[in-house]
Structure 1
Amino acid sequence: MSRIIAIFGAEGLSADDPAPLYLRLQDRIKAAIQRGDLRPLDALPGERDIAEALSVSRVTVRKALSGLVEGGLLKQRQGSGTFVAAPPHRVEQALSRLTSFSEDMRLRGLEPTVRWLAREVSLPSPQEAMRLSLSPSETVCRLKRLRLAGGVPMAIELATIPTRHLPDPTLVADSLYAAMTARGVRPVRALQRLSAANLSAEDALLLDVAPGAAALAIERLSYLDNGTPAEFTQSWYRGDAYDFVAELTLRRDP
C-alpha cells in the first residue's frame, strides 16, 4: 500500500472533478513517470490493489491502463502484469540527404506507420502561398499526420502540396514522396529550418510526452529539378527520440 501511495498519492480520485475517472487515473500514472516514481521497465501495482487504494472499480483501472498501453507509455505482458515502457530508441537523421520519413525508418529496421489527422484540398494560407509561389486562386493538398516508428509516435507533420502536383490527398498511403514519384514529381533538393519548440498540450498528447516537452520544429521547402517549389512541410519531432546530424568540412585556405 505504501508504494501505491508513493506513486498515486494518498487521496482518492475526487468526485467533484467532472473529468472521467479513467482519464484522471491516466494523468496520475503519467505524472508518476515524469517525477521518476515510476521508471522505465518498472512494474505497476496490480489492478485490484490500485482500485482499492483509489476507491475506483477495476473496470476503471483496466480502461486507464489499456489506454496508456495503446499510447505506448505502458506495456503489458501476459501473466506478468503491466510495466512502464522503455523510452524509444534515439534516431539519427542526416541533414545532408533528402529522404522521406518512411525511407529513414526502414533503413533502421523500424516499421513506419501513419495515423491520419487531416486530409483536405483547400485554398492556401498566405504563408503557404508565399512559400510555394502560388496565386491565391490555386488549391493545395494539406496532409496532417502522426508518424510512428515501431509503434512509437515520433513526429507530427503538416505537409502542403500544390494540387497540380498531387490532386488527391488520398493518393498518399504511408509515404508522400512515393506518391509524388508515382506521378512523376520527385523533389530533388530542399531547404530546412530547425528551431527549438515546446509542445502544446494537444501535440504532446499525440506524441505521448508531457505538455511543454522539448521538440524540434522543422520547416522544409522542397524543389523539383527545374526549381519549382513542390512541398512545404512543418514538422514537430519529439526531442527525446530524434537527433539531426550534419557533417561539416573546414575550407582549406588558398
Structure 2
Amino acid sequence: MQRALREAIHQKMLSPDDALPPERDMAEDFSVSRITVRKALEGLVSEGLLTRRQGAGTFVAARVEKSFSKLSSFTEDMISRGRAPSSEWISKSEGSVTPEESLTLGLSPGTPVYRFARIRYADGAAMAVEYTTIAAFALPSADAVQNSLYAAMAATGHRPSRALQRLRGVLVTREHAALLGVKPKDAGLLVERRGFLRDGRAVEVSHSYYRGDAYDFVAELNDQS
C-alpha cells in the first residue's frame, strides 16, 4: 500500500495539498487493516510525501518554497505557509571561535560563541539539518534558545537585519541521510548564511542541509537597466 501511494504521488495522480480519504475508507479500498494503513501513512509522512494537519486529516505534501528576497527564519517560513514547524536538538554548546569562524564572523581568536545543531521539521517531516554558530554577545546562554533562534536573538536586540546566502547542490551524506530519512547520495541543497546586525557586525554563520526533494529556493529578479 505504501508503495502504491508513493507511486501515485510521484506520477502526479495525487497532487500537492490533496486530502487523503479517512483511514477506514482506505482500509476498505485496499483490503487491508487500519493498522496497515496507519503504518503506510506514517512511513510516507516520514519521507516528506504526506503531512498531517491537526483536526483536518492527511494531505499530500507540497514542496516548500523559500524566498531569497526576505530574511526570515525556518519557523517563520513554515508558519507563513500553514505548516507546523518543530525542531529536534542534536546539540547546544558554548566554546571559542574557530579560525574559520573568526574570519567569517570577524571575531578575535578566543572570542566565545554558541553553537547549535538541530533537525528542522515541517508537519512532522524532516526537512533540514542545521548547524549555526552565534557570537556569544547576541545571547545570554545557549539554553536561551528554545524553538526559534531568531526570536531569542530578537529578545536581546541582536536579530540579524540582513544576510548573505550561498546555495549549492550537494549529495546527502550517510550521516545526514539517517537524520533526514532519505538515502545517502540523494540530491540535497546546502545553504550557507552569514547574518549581520544593523551596525554591520557579523553575528551568525549557519550551514543548513536541505532535502532536495522537498524544498525549492526562489528569488525575485528586477531589471535595473
TM-score (norm 1): 0.68
Aligned partner letter, 1:147 = R
Identity score, percent = 40
For the Cα contact (< 8 Å) 1:146–1:157, is it kept in 2? yes
* Structure 2 CA distance for aligned equivalents of residues 38 and 72 of structure 1: 12
Aligned-CA RMSD value: 2.9
- Single out whichever of 38-47 and 137-146 deviates more from structure 2: 38-47
For the Cα contact (< 8 Å) 1:122–1:140, is it kept in 2? yes
Task: Mark the structure with the bigger radius of gyration.
Answer: 1
Question: Counterpart in 1 of 2:23?
Answer: none
Kindly indicate whether residue 108 of structure 2 is the aligned counterpart of residue 135 of structure 1: yes
Structure 2 counterpart SS, 1:120: strand
For the Cα contact (< 8 Å) 1:166–1:180, is it kept in 2? yes
Deviations 1:34-60 (A, max 9, x none): xx996367999979xxxxxxxxxxxxx
For the Cα contact (< 8 Å) 1:155–1:237, is it kept in 2? yes
* Structure 2 CA distance for aligned equivalents of residues 225 and 122 of structure 1: 25
For the Cα contact (< 8 Å) 2:188–2:212, is it kept in 1? yes
Indicate how the Cα distance of structure 1 residues 186 and 37 shifts in structure 2: closer, same or farther if over 3 A, else same: closer
Structure 1 position 86, deviation (Å): 7.5
| 2:7 counterpart (33, 39, 45) | 39
| 1:227 counterpart (200, 203, 220) | 200
Structure 1 position 173, deviation (Å): 1.2
Structure 1 counterpart SS, 2:221: coil
Structure 1 position 167, deviation (Å): 3.5
Kindly indicate whether residue 168 of structure 2 is the aligned counterpart of residue 200 of structure 1: no
Structure 1 position 195, deviation (Å): 0.6
Deviations 1:4-60 (A, max 9, x none): xxxxxxxxxxxxxxxxxxxxxxxxx9xxx6xx996367999979xxxxxxxxxxxxx
Structure 1 counterpart SS, 2:7: coil
* Structure 2 CA distance for aligned equivalents of residues 165 and 110 of structure 1: 28
For the Cα contact (< 8 Å) 2:94–2:142, is it kept in 1? yes
Structure 1 position 185, deviation (Å): 1.0
* Structure 2 CA distance for aligned equivalents of residues 199 and 135 of structure 1: 33
For the Cα contact (< 8 Å) 2:115–2:133, is it kept in 1? yes
Structure 2: stretches of 5+ with no match in the other structure: 10-25, 51-57
- Single out whichever of 168-177 and 142-151 deviates more from structure 2: 168-177
* Structure 1 CA distance for aligned equivalents of residues 209 and 181 of structure 2: 13
More strand by share: 2
Question: Counterpart in 1 of 2:46?
Answer: 72
Structure 1 position 225, deviation (Å): 0.3
Question: Counterpart in 1 of 2:22?
Answer: none
* Structure 2 CA distance for aligned equivalents of residues 182 and 240 of structure 1: 34
Higher RCO (CA-CA < 8 Å; seq separation 6+)? 2
For the Cα contact (< 8 Å) 2:6–2:44, is it kept in 1? no
Structure 1 position 247, deviation (Å): 0.8
Structure 1: stretches of 5+ with no match in the other structure: 4-28, 48-61, 76-84
* Structure 2 CA distance for aligned equivalents of residues 38 and 108 of structure 1: 23
Equivalence map 1:138-217=2 (5 Å): 138-217=111-190
Structure 1 position 169, deviation (Å): 1.2
Aligned partner letter, 2:7 = R
Question: Counterpart in 1 of 2:79?
Answer: 106
For the Cα contact (< 8 Å) 1:187–1:223, is it kept in 2? yes
* Structure 2 CA distance for aligned equivalents of residues 224 and 141 of structure 1: 17
Structure 1 position 166, deviation (Å): 1.6
* Structure 2 CA distance for aligned equivalents of residues 212 and 222 of structure 1: 29
Question: Counterpart in 2 of 1:59?
Answer: none
